[in-house]
Chain A
Amino acid sequence: MSFWARLIRCPPARRGLVMLLVMAVVALAAPLLAPADPWKVHPAARLLPPLSRSAVDGADALGRGANASGNGTNASGPGADASGNGANASGNAHTGAGATTLHLLGTDSVGRDVLSRLIYGSRVSLTVGFAAMVLSALFGSLIGVVSGYFGGIVESLTGWLVDVQLSFPFLLLAIFLLGALGGGTLAVILILALATWVNYARIVRAQVLSIKNQGYVEAAHATGASVGRVLFVHILPNTLAPICVVASFSMAQAILTEAGLSFLGVGLDPSTPSWGTMLNDGRDYLLTAWWISTMPGIAIGFTVLGVMLFGEGLRELLDPRSLR
């Protein structure tokens, strides 16, 4: 049975995979799915709760007419007041008889559509989280394998590197580096990878240390296998299970750290729609406009759950006892 076939048969992996696929489709098809322009500020439509409507500007700045008009026709039937609920509706009233747009998940403090920002945000958050995860997994595992297998001076050096990384305040480092690198998505990815590689290095090193003393490694040496073969056939595959577990945790951690960095103003441009920036946007309005930070929170939770289920499934699949 192929790996993928077994993956599909494993319930947690299947569920996780479906959840991640949903997120991936949303991210890829963001322009088609988003009901409104995620960057467009509508001072008049600030803090609208979910399911409320607002008038749409005639001229869409980014020329996303097709989308906007699609929503327009959809929403043109009922009058503005019909859907107006609560105090906010009165704010909409003066825009008059123009086309209205439905804010399924409400609007934020500057009147941007939360759903649209959420959809566009998935692009940034998934890219950042995934890229940081892959980068740190590769780097951390490499360091872990090398230091665990060769020991001696290599181990001392990498151990020193890990200690430096762990003892240096991460935020200070992040602020300094982001200042030097000038921000941007790539810089954030690098910083996040820097924040999590230690997790891989430590767990992989511990794993390698124990596997190194397993009989089959000695047996492989005794049959005449080269160091490379021992490392890549006998040792590395047996560290995959813990790597998967760490990867699922650290991808979640990366998404959340990105949020934290954005909050501090050193991460992504606050206007960039990302779940992190949205989460922090809403912090001042937690009591008055809960949806601004709750919605990205749910999105993060959903994705993290998907990643973890998938990781759990992978771990299960990578257990040789499940192999047939």
Chain B
Amino acid sequence: MSSPNIILASRQLTVTYGTARSSFLRPKRNIVQALRGVDLDIYAGETLALVGESGSGKSTLARALVRCIPASSGSVAFKGSDITTSSGRPLRALRRHLQMIFQDPFGSLNPRLSIGSAVGEPLIVHGLASGRELKSRVAECLALVGLDGSVANRRPHEFSGGQRQRICIARALACRPELIAADEVLSALDLSLRGQMLELFRQLKERLSLTYLFISHDLGVVRQISDRVAVMYLGRVVELATTPELYSHPRHPYTHALLAAVPIADPIVERSRQYASLPGEPPSPARPPSGCAFHTRCPRAVERCRTETPKLTELAPGHSVACHRPH
């Protein structure tokens, strides 16, 4: 079904959350469609970025792809084999290959566990190493992220945010995964640390031939690290292209607006820039608009956009857009 170099693929992947929202004396159930039928292929060895505003479903997509949350419908395949319904032991074995790093470096380390136990946990869980070997593997992983092996006996609270994020990366690397999903890993870090972390990600990828699924709302960071970018809006991928292509020729009006909203670090350019700001705000995923979900804010919307949902179609090789009136 998939060519050998596709490491992870989703077909019509849908995730719904049921949120019980009760008003006074009248409980009612809201169903939020966080993902609405996403088709996405991730190629081995690439860095695919997911961008979009909060509520666009980029985190949900990443979690569903690495099976941290179950799919409501659709399918996920890892190297050609369907993993949509894996659970229990096979699912946990799968986790060895698909790792995830989270946004908050302060919350994602158990304050009680030493750095060594945290980094070694995947090795213990998957029975990959124990005793002396475990120690040396942990030291190896810490060295990979630029930390000294002696930190293994210390606790998370002794480290700064940037160092903790390195520890989290070391943990994700411990069982030599093939793909790492990084969920907003830089947004909690100070600006001056981001450059170093990006560099670290780049080096690790080269050294360990990793595949990254990189989630970020920061288009500047995405431009620096990714090979391809998928732009998401209200649970759908609206544009998918290689990074240079997307930044130089965005086709979807939403991508246009997103790129236009990013400030450029040059006052002279900034002052002459025209801001085609988007009117309004992203609609609630609980009540997505009909047709193209973006039509409520789209400057190019026509009647057809209100009724007919555009499909993600390839307009140029490797550049797909879901829009009736692309740029």
Direct contact of A and B (CB under 8 A): yes
A226 in contact (CB, < 8 A) = yes
Question: Which residues of B lie under 8 Å from residue A234 when comparing CB positions?
Answer: 110, 113
Q: Is the CB of B112 within 8 A of A320?
A: yes
Across the interface, A223 reaches (CB within 8 A) one of B106, B113, B122, B155, namely B122
Task: Decide if A9 is an interface residue (CB 8 Å cutoff).
Answer: no
Contacts of B94 in A (CB 8 A): 224
One of B91, B93, B108 near A218 (C-beta < 8 A): B108
Chain A residues within an 8 Å CB radius of B171: 219, 223
When C-beta atoms are compared, the residue in chain B nearest to A218 turns out to be B102
**Contacts A215-B107, A320-B112, A320-B157 given: A223-B68 contact, CB under 8 Å?**
no
* In the complex, number of A-B residue pairs with CB atoms less than 8 Å apart: 75
A234 nearest in chain B by CB position = B110
Complex-state Cα separation, A218 to B112, whole angstroms: 16
Q: Is A180 on the interface with B (CB-CB < 8 A)?
A: no
B175 in contact with A219 (CB, 8 Å): no
Q: How many residues of B contact A (CB 8 A)?
A: 32
- Chain B window 85-120, contacts with chain A (Cβ cutoff 8 Å), 1 for yes, 0 for no: 000000111111001101110111111110000000
CB distance from B31 to the nearest CB of A (A): 18
CA distance A238 to B107 in the complex (A): 13
Instruction: Chain B residues near A225: list those with CB within 8 A.
Output: 92, 121, 125
Once bound together, how far apart are the Cα atoms of A324 and B155, in whole Å? Answer: 7
Q: Verify if A24 is at the interface (C-beta below 8 Å from B).
A: no
Cα distance A260–B157 in the bound complex, in angstroms: 46
B126 interface residue per 8 A CB criterion: yes
Interface presence of A160 (CB below 8 A): no
A224:B96 contact, CB within 8 angstroms: yes
B92 A216 Cβ-Cβ under 8 A: no
Taking the closest CB of chain B, its distance from the CB of A243, in whole angstroms, is 14
Q: From A238, which residue of chain B is reached at the shortest CB distance?
A: B112
Q: Is A287 an interface residue (CB 8 A)?
A: no
CB A300 to nearest CB in B, in angstroms, measures: 34
Q: How far is the CA of A219 from the CA of B121 in the complex (A)?
A: 10
The verdict on B215 contacting chain A, using a C-beta distance below 8 Å, is no
Give which listed residue, A216, A223, A237, A323, contacts B125 with CB less than 8 A.
A223
Contacts of A94 in B (CB 8 A): none
Decide if A220 is an interface residue (CB 8 Å cutoff): yes
Cβ distance B113 to chain A, nearest Cβ, rounded Å: 8
Contact B157 A321 (CB under 8 A): yes
Q: Are A223 and B102 in contact (CB under 8 A)?
A: no
> What separation, in Å, do the CA atoms of A125 and B175 have in the docked complex?
53
Closest residue of chain B to A226, judged by CB? Answer: B92
A226 neighbours in B (Cβ, 8 Å): 92, 125
Q: Is A222 an interface residue (CB 8 A)?
A: yes
Interface residues of A in 234-260 (CB under 8 A from B): 234, 237-238
Q: Is there an interface contact between A224 and B102, defined as CB atoms closer than 8 Å?
A: no
A215 touches B68 (CB 8 A): no
Q: What residues of A have a CB within 8 angstroms of the CB of B95 in the complex?
A: 222-224
Question: How far apart are the CA atoms of A178 and B61 in the complex, in Å?
Answer: 58
B210: Cβ under 8 A from any A Cβ: no
With the chains together, A216 CA to B168 CA distance in Å?
10
Contact partners of A222 in chain B: CB under 8 A: 66, 68, 95, 99-100, 102
Interface of B is mostly: loop
Tell me if A229 is interfacial: C-beta within 8 Å of chain B.
Answer: yes
Over the window 44-59 of chain B, the binary record of Cβ atoms lying under 8 Å from chain A Cβ atoms (1 yes, 0 no) is 0000000000000000
Whether the pair A224, B112 counts as a contact (CB closer than 8 A) is no
Q: Determine if B100 and A214 form an interchain contact, defined as CB atoms under 8 angstroms apart.
A: no
The reply on A283 being an interface residue by CB < 8 A is no
Contact with A along B160-179 (1 / 0, CB 8 A): 00000000100110010000
Among B103, B113, B122, B156, the residue within 8 A (CB) of A224 is B122
Q: Does A64 sit within 8 A of B, measured CB to CB?
A: no
Expressed in whole angstroms, the minimum distance between the Cβ of B67 and any Cβ of chain A is 9
Contact B108 A229 (CB under 8 A): no
Whole-angstrom CA separation of A221 from B98 in the bound complex: 12
**Contact flag A219-B112 (CB < 8 Å), given A224-B92, A226-B92:** no
The residue that B100 contacts in the complex, of A219, A237, A238, with Cβ under 8 A, is: A219
* Closest CB in chain B relative to A73 CB, distance in Å: 58
**A223–B110 contact, CB under 8 A?**
no
Write out, one digit per residue, whether chain A residues 189-221 have a CB within 8 A of any chain B CB (1) or not (0): 000000000000000000000000011101111
If A238-B112, A320-B112, A320-B155 touch, whether A220 touches B107 (CB-CB below 8 Å) is no
- Determine how close the nearest CB of chain A comes to the CB of B13; give it in whole angstroms: 18
Q: How far is the CA of A216 from the CA of B112 in the complex (A)?
A: 11
Q: How far is the CB of A266 from chain B (nearest CB, A)?
A: 43
| Shortest CB distance B171–A (Å) | 7
Q: For residue B100, which residues in chain A have a CB less than 8 angstroms away from its CB? A: 219, 222
* Chain A residues closer than 8 Å to B155, beta-carbon distance: 320-321, 323-324
Q: B68 touches which one: A218, A233, A238 (CB < 8 A)?
A: A218
Q: Report A-chain residues with C-beta under 8 Å of the C-beta of B112.
A: 237-238, 320, 323
- Taking the nearest CB of chain A, how far is it from the CB of B29, in angstroms? 15
Q: Which residue of the partner chain, among B102, B106, B111, B121, contacts A320 with CB atoms under 8 Å?
A: B111
Residue pair A214, B107 in contact (C-beta under 8 Å) = yes
| Closest chain A residue, CB of each to CB of B100 | A222
Q: Which residues of B contact A323 (CB under 8 A)?
A: 112, 155
Known pairs A215-B104, A219-B109, A224-B125; list 12 more (Cβ under 8 Å). Answer: A214-B107, A215-B102, A222-B66, A222-B102, A223-B122, A224-B93, A224-B96, A234-B113, A237-B112, A320-B111, A320-B112, A321-B155
Residues of B whose CB lies within 8 Å of any CB of A are 66, 68, 91-96, 99-100, 102-104, 106-113, 121-122, 125-126, 155-157, 168, 171-172, 175
Interface pairs (12), CB distance under 8 Å = A215-B102, A215-B106, A216-B108, A218-B102, A218-B108, A219-B108, A223-B122, A224-B96, A225-B125, A233-B113, A234-B113, A238-B110
